[in-house]
Amino acid sequence: MEYPIRINKYLRDKGLASRREADRLVESGLVFVNGKRVDNGIKVNEKDSVIVRQPKGLAKKEYQYLAYYKPRDLPTQDLPGKISVITEWKKRGLYPIGRLDKSSEGLLLLTNDGRFAREVLSNSVKYDKEYLVAVKEPLRPGIVKIIQSGMETQALGKLLPAKARIINNSKIQIILNEGKHHQIRVMMDEFGFTINSLKRIRIGDIKVEGLKPGETRPIHVKL
């Protein structure tokens, strides 16, 4: 998520509501930023505190949590005239937590619980993200130390230290505690590698194992 961001897009990307629903929540005076009721159009910064109050008279919301295997070539976010993860699931009131770019595949979490979404999107070790990356060129052993020390990149600046392990000549395992935009692709590009495939296989203790592309399964969440 890139900041500052409009409040309706922020609520959508956090899995709290669709953009139209977010607009209605704001218009109803149910959205507060840093303790103040806000109007539509306001932009939110990363460190702002955003609270959405439950409309009076509504039944308690039933929260849902799914592990989903996003297929390759399916975008996560809405694109005009295109099918995406959001268009597939928003009719059920579920939204992806974060995103995987169109060319990547693997584990996405779907929910209608903004509390859970915020926790997963934090840099908490509890929800670290594990990836398997296959590249065209032979991997160099020295890149592991650079990744583990927190590498400098032109596009994203200084990155947090991450875990890395070379599996074979063309495949590397990377575990991140942060999720900057296209982070792994930026890292590999800085090293001069061409990515053939990028798959997220785990978020915290939730694994994609056992799912085929397009499949889901319920997950149990403790908050």
Catalytic residues: 101
Lookup: tokens for 166: 């070379």
Tell me how far apart the alpha carbons of residues 54 and 74 are, in angstroms, rounded to a whole number: 33
E strands, the chain, in order: 5-6, 31-33, 36-37, 43-44, 50-52, 65-70, 95-96, 105-111, 129-135, 152-153, 157-158, 163-168, 171-176, 195-203, 206-207, 216-218
Rounded Cα gap, residues 208 and 108, in angstroms: 9
Token pair recorded at residue 76: 């996560």
Residue type, 201: I
Q: Which residue has the tokens 């059920």?
A: 92
Dist CA 98 CA 179 (whole Å):
8
Burial (CB < 10 A; 0-12, 13-18, 19+), residue 166, is middle
- 18 HSE (CA, 13 A, CB side): 13
